[in-house]
Every structure is written in structure tokens, then in C-alpha cells.
Structure 1
Amino acid sequence: MIYNQGCLAGATALRLAKDLAENNAGTHVLIICSENMVMSFQPPLETDLDILIGSTIFFDRAAALIIGANPIVSTNECPLFQIVSVSQTIILKSDDIPIMKIREMGMEYYLSRNLPKYVSNDIKQCMVEVFTPFDISKWENLFYVVYLGGVAILNGIEEKLGLNKERLRASRHVLTEYGNMWGPSVIFILDEMRKMSVLEGKATIVEGLEWGVLFGFGLGLTVETLVLRSFATNSTT
């Protein structure tokens, strides 16, 4: 069980499931990621108007997927993505950017207006560190699964990496349709990419691209970075 990870939960679960599957022969890991935001709902206060942010952008949702290693084609296993590598980074001097406290009446949280800037300023270094071993430096040629921290975070990442709007299309669509779901968000985005690629007849499961990255952001301020590879669409049913 993984508790109190908040926005990071989905990406963290993927990282840990990769380790379990690869180091235990024949293992399949079922990830069930569920968020219930009722405990963090607070009535608006004139002295703390920022608490309205969470009540308007955070929503209940649940998602599930299976992680395995060395898929057996003869058993009709149909992999969608390969988790190539994982890493976790704590952004320095950011411990007061998102703050959450458990109180008698539930959870209180406060989000600094500087949160998008902290995330986007560090994102390029994260990319360099994880993709240098694979000799990849053209960010526009990758697909992106970016946690739904908000429009400002998505805009900041696009600007820092020099991306066009199409690269974060799936993240923006899920944010518009479902809101910020904390942990399940990245799983929803992966599924949205799968559905779009099949519908559009792309060569791979993600926009016809082979390599990509998944970002999770959470308390710390912590960044989970997963390097992904997509499989051909004809490997899915």
C-alpha cells in the first residue's frame, strides 16, 4: 500500500512495480490507484481564498493497469509501453511550495503561485540526465505523459523544452475532461494516448513515436521521471 504520496502516487507506483516485476520472475503487478478528494474539501474563507484552488481543480477518480516483465507472446500478452528507466529528483529549496497538513476536519493544502516556475525551471535538467545514456537530445521527437498540475505547469514545460502544443495534447485533453485526479492522472493520460493512436492509425501506440517520458510531480517538491518506449499498435487488441 502506498499512502500520502498525493500527486506522485501514480508515477511512484509505476516505478516500484517495474522493480517488483523485473526482480521476481513471472510476476505481474496489478496497480490500483484511487483518489478520494472529499477529505480535503474545505469551505472558502475570506482569509484563505487560495484553498478554493484545490476544491475546483481536484477530482475523485480511479485507474488500474498491469505491469510485467518479459511478455510471452504465445499467451496473447499485449504490452503497450516499456518502462526503460526511472529516476526521482527533489527540487532544492522547494519544501514550502506545496504544503499539506492533516487536521481534525480533514486535509489542508496550500499551493504557492511559484509552483509552475519551480517545476518548469528544473525540467530540462531532468530530461538531460535520463536521456543522455540513450543519446537522445531532441525533445520534440518524444511523446509526453505529464502530470496534470495545471495549465501553467503544462505551458511552462512546453516553453522550457521548446515543444509545440501537440506534444502535450493528451495531458491537456485529460485535464479538460476529468480535471486533476492526483495519482490516477498519469494512467488516464497513457490510456488517452493509446486510444488516440489506435483511432488515428498511428504506427506505434503513442502518436507514431517510439521514445517518450512520463513526469509525476508531488510533495518535496519531487519529480518522478520515467523513460518510456511504445510498442507497435498491431501488438494490442
Structure 2
Amino acid sequence: MSTRETIVPYSEHGVVVHVREMGCEYYLSPDVPKLVGANIEEILVKLFSEIDGINNDWNSLFYCIHPGGPAILDKVEEKLGLNEEKLRATRLVLREYGNMGAPSVFFILDETRKKSMEKGKATTGEGLEWGVLIGIGPRLTMETVVLRSVRIAAC
């Protein structure tokens, strides 16, 4: 529905990636949770500025956040005032599979869809219409995508 890319200022040291013969090597600065937390709300306000009905009620969304680590998720939860269950799927994927890089978000979306169906929710987004996917990348790039869930057909 909408996308936005933000390079967080003064974050050159945030996420450093080295491409090696044997694959990619990532380094996450201990400052990443603080940098994400300091910028997350402003990023979401801009992302949702053209979507009616959100009005900065962050608990009215479902979430798919790249699971860089528990401290990042804790900071997002704190800064947005999220209810504990909002990051359940993200935390489950982090616990079960670890930080798999970019593919993590597909596992989180699948977990959200499966749980929505198991619980008889109206939509694939935990019964909610709108959601947000947040990816975190090199330097400290935050990719955000507004998601719109689909209705689950009654069997």
C-alpha cells in the first residue's frame, strides 16, 4: 500500500556488512536499539500519513519487524507503547530460527497468517486490516511497508 526508506542520521556504525567468499558477515552496533527507538515513531508517522484511520494508534496495527535482536524489539515496543502480544510472531521467529536476515520477515508473516487462521480471526493480520513490515539493514537503513491483510474465507 505504501513504502518508505529511511537512513537514520549518524548511524554509519549501526549495521556493517562485509561480503566474504563464504557469505555475508554482519556486525550490529550496541547502539542499534537506541537508534531504532529514537526514530521509529517519526518513521511510522510519515509512513502512515496518507492512510486514513490510523491516527498514531500503533496498537491498531499488526507487526512484522525484522528480528535483529530482543533489545531492538523491546525498544520498539517501549517507544510505540505496544501491547505485549503485538510482537509475538516476531519474537517466536527470533527464538525458533534466530536472525536470518531479510528472509525473517517472510517467516513472521507466515506465522501471523497461521495464528490468525487457528484463532478464527477475520483477516490474516490478526483480525486487523492494517499492518507494518519493518526491515533493518546496513548502516541503519529502515525499510517500512504498509501492509493490508486479506479476509480469511469461512470454510
Q: TM-score, normalised by structure 1?
A: 0.61
| Corresponding residue to 1:181 among 84, 100, 105 | 100
* 1:149-191 C-alpha deviation (Å, 9 max, x unpaired): 1000000000000001100111011111111110210000010
* 1:4-31 C-alpha deviation (Å, 9 max, x unpaired): xxxxxxxxxxxxxxxxxxxxxxxxxxxx
* 1:97-117 C-alpha deviation (Å, 9 max, x unpaired): 222234567654432111111
The aligned counterpart of 2:30 is: 113
Percent identical pairs in the alignment equals 54
Q: State the one-letter code of the partner of 1:203.
A: A
- 1:94 maps onto 2:7 in alignment: no
SS at match of 1:145: strand
- Counterparts of 1:162-177 in structure 2, within 5 Å, are 162-177=81-96
Q: State the one-letter code of the partner of 1:159.
A: E
Question: In the aligned structure 2, how far is the partner of 1:142 from the partner of 1:103?
Answer: 38
- Counterparts of 1:1-237 in structure 2, within 5 Å, are 84-102=1-19, 107-135=24-52, 136=54, 137-234=56-153
Question: In the aligned structure 1, how far is the partner of 2:150 from the partner of 2:21?
Answer: 47
User: CA RMSD of the aligned region, Å?
Assistant: 1.7
Q: State the one-letter code of the partner of 2:122.
A: A
Question: In the aligned structure 1, how far is the partner of 2:16 from the partner of 2:9?
Answer: 15
In structure 2, relative to structure 1, the CA distance for the partners of 1:181 and 1:103 (3 Å cut) is closer
SS at match of 2:145: strand
4+ runs deviating over 4 angstroms: 103-108
Find the structure with the greater CA-based Rg. 1
State the Cα distance separating 1:122 from its structure 2 match: 0.7
Q: State the one-letter code of the partner of 1:219.
A: P
Question: In the aligned structure 2, how far is the partner of 1:98 from the partner of 1:132?
Answer: 28
Question: In the aligned structure 1, how far is the partner of 2:60 from the partner of 2:128?
Answer: 7
Question: In the aligned structure 2, how far is the partner of 1:106 from the partner of 1:86?
Answer: 28
In structure 2, relative to structure 1, the CA distance for the partners of 1:130 and 1:104 (3 Å cut) is closer
Q: How many residues align?
A: 153
In structure 2, relative to structure 1, the CA distance for the partners of 1:207 and 1:111 (3 Å cut) is same
State the Cα distance separating 1:87 from its structure 2 match: 1.0
In structure 2, relative to structure 1, the CA distance for the partners of 1:178 and 1:109 (3 Å cut) is closer
